[in-house]
Amino acid sequence: MKAGDMIVTSSIPELRQWRWQQPAASYGFVPTMGYLHEGHLSLARRARAENEFVVVSIYVNPTQFAPTEDLSSYPRDLERDLALLRGEGVDLVFAPDDALMYPPGFQTYVTVEQATQGLEGASRPMHFRGVTTVVAKLFNLVQPTRAYFGQKDYQQSVVVRQMVADLNFNLEVVVCPTVREADGLAMSSRNKYLTPPQRQAATVLSRTLRHGLVLLDEGERNGRTLRAAMQGMIEAEPLARLDYISVAHPITLQELEQVGDQAVLSTAVFIGKTRLIDNMLWQVREA
Amino acid sequence: MKAGDMIVTSSIPELRQWRWQQPAASYGFVPTMGYLHEGHLSLARRARAENEFVVVSIYVNPTQFAPTEDLSSYPRDLERDLALLRGEGVDLVFAPDDALMYPPGFQTYVTVEQATQGLEGASRPMHFRGVTTVVAKLFNLVQPTRAYFGQKDYQQSVVVRQMVADLNFNLEVVVCPTVREADGLAMSSRNKYLTPPQRQAATVLSRTLRHGLVLLDEGERNGRTLRAAMQGMIEAEPLARLDYISVAHPITLQELEQVGDQAVLSTAVFIGKTRLIDNMLWQVREA
């Protein structure tokens, strides 16, 4: 298929008709909020490699933003996004608007309970309700074989996996590694908000998490000690304001008093008004 | 297909494999809690007429019962149900158990907001959350073309339609007329609970609703007057205890002060310990 053949649509009937022309084919799906970076493109590439058809959605979902958050200023550049996706051989881009996704009278929500209580869920109430609701809608619209998410939003990947298992969605959730800038900063559409000094300061997230991994490798297993050490590193950066630092179980997301053979280290930090998140997984090495 | 060919399974992989052998065929789906009566069979028959394959689920869903309700005593007779469904030419019966539907760690719920506030939702808090959650699961398991519900559970049909629209389920909801005994009693698995005198008294529901229709046909449009007249009829039956009587808009389910050109009359009544519901739709006649 030539790159120019990529379909761009905001029509549900067009999407469905295309999807069901080859009902038994495999469809990879990458839901995004646009303003694509290398992280998103790595998902599209993985989907391209694993499926006969690839669908990417671009939709800045209002129900996952709190009124105080950056919905209106969230960066958008559809033309650039489409050019990038053409370059990855994507077959169809679904780019709906709010009137299509949340028509008057909309009143149905999907909620995941325990997995959304801590971390991002604690800092951003209703955030995950918005995520799971729009992802359920997109899953039902695209009906993909596999859906691709980045590890960068680690809790989101856990919550989506839980939703897929609990509601018996007929698809596989694939979580792909976080893509980073050369200096370690996790790629994020929100990095665009950073001034040059803030951009420099933002490396504190990945430096802190890596330090946590080193402490774990050196044998530290006490959750409180690990969190305190990492918190100290964040607080040493004058442009950073800590939201949370976590040493949790990678599946249950429960904070760990004592680390066993695996953990997820995660943090949310304000750099100026920009809220950044990052995480790293740790596993004990085989003896 | 011979009647004996009906597949009965509680295996998700077996269900999915069967469903996706003919991915583009049409599948009619009738979700039930078993103990089937002529109402259920009318749904199966309609599904049989309109689709290449017919799936019926039999599952007494615990999340739609309150702790005080009749989950443990809800009537069950799987062998009889299967014989009836074989007679209707059903292709596959999905009969899962609680461990399959709600495994340890289950934590995801689908909620419909406004449409679940009144009527059954007011009398049975959490009921519809259980209904929409299990129906979403079953939809994702069966992935039907059309799903069939009885008008007897009128609010349920409104709530399910809303969920299907809001979450973009790729299927059509078909609502079929209530099937009644000769004396007007709406068929219900719970009618089995009634003693002979209670069974006699239970006709008060349909008699009352029919009286409401007559009043509307005669020109009465005041909601309060209509509710009072119907309430009086229920209260005149010594074995009956009124839960609610409603004159509402058939789509929004909002109680009407003044009836326009359509309404749904509905009621819930305890006959002894058995709670029965019924409803009738009214539309103004063309002049």
For residue A89, the model assigns a pLDDT of 98
Nearest CA distance, B156 vs chain A (angstrom): 14
Contacting residues of B for A24, CB less than 8 Å apart: 20, 23-24
> Cβ contact (<8 Å) for A112 and B108?
yes
Residue A268 has pLDDT above 50, yes or no: yes
φ and ψ at A248, to 5 degrees? -130, 165
Q: How many CA atoms lie within 13 A of A182 on its CB side?
A: 0
Q: What is the ipTM of this complex?
A: 0.95
> Cβ contact (<8 Å) for A162 and B113?
no
State pLDDT tens for residues A6-55.
999 999 999 999 999 999 999 999 999 999 999 999 999 999 999 999 99
> Cβ contact (<8 Å) for B168 and A111?
no
Contacting residues of B for A106, CB less than 8 Å apart: 166
For residue A131, the model assigns a pLDDT of 98
pTM of the model: 0.96
Helix (H) or strand (E) holding B29: strand B27-32
State the Cα–Cα distance between residues B26 and A35, nearest whole angstrom: 39
Size of interface A-B (CB pairs under 8 A): 81
Contacting residues of B for A105, CB less than 8 Å apart: 114, 162
Higher per-residue confidence, A1 vs A131: A131
Token pair 């890596």 is found at A210
For residue A3, the model assigns a pLDDT of 46
B180 strand-pairing partners: B186
Q: Which of A20, A137, A169 sits opposite B140 (nearest CB)?
A: A169
Say how far residue A179 (Cα) sits from the centre of its chain.
12
Buried b (16+ CB within 10 A) or exposed e, A271-287: beebbbbbbbbbeeeee
State pLDDT tens for residues A121-166.
999 989 999 999 999 999 999 999 999 999 999 999 999 999 999 9
Which residues fall within 8 angstroms of residue B11, CB to CB, at 6 or more apart?
none
For residue A242, the model assigns a pLDDT of 98
Residue A1 has pLDDT above 50, yes or no: no
For residue B246, the model assigns a pLDDT of 98
Task: Report the 3 state secondary structure along B106-138.
Answer: CCEEEEECHHHCCHHHHHCCCHHHHHHHHHHHH
For residue A192, the model assigns a pLDDT of 94
Residues of chain B with pLDDT under 70: 1-4, 287
All domains of chain B in start order, with CATH: 3-176 (3.40.50.620), 189-282 (3.30.1300.10)
Nearest CA distance, B102 vs chain A (angstrom): 8
> Cβ contact (<8 Å) for A168 and B108?
no
For residue B4, the model assigns a pLDDT of 56
Tokens of residue A56, six digits: 């990417």
State pLDDT tens for residues A204-224.
999 999 999 999 999 999 999
DSSP B89-105: T--EEE---HHHHS-TT
Active-site residue flag, A211? no
Please tell me which residue of chain A has the smallest CA distance to B159.
A108
State the Cα–Cα distance between residues A74 and B123, nearest whole angstrom: 43
**Do β-strands A108-112 and A172-176 pair in parallel, antiparallel, or remain unpaired?**
unpaired
For residue B1, the model assigns a pLDDT of 44
Which residues fall within 8 angstroms of residue A16, CB to CB, at 6 or more apart?
A141, B170
> Cβ contact (<8 Å) for B167 and A140?
yes
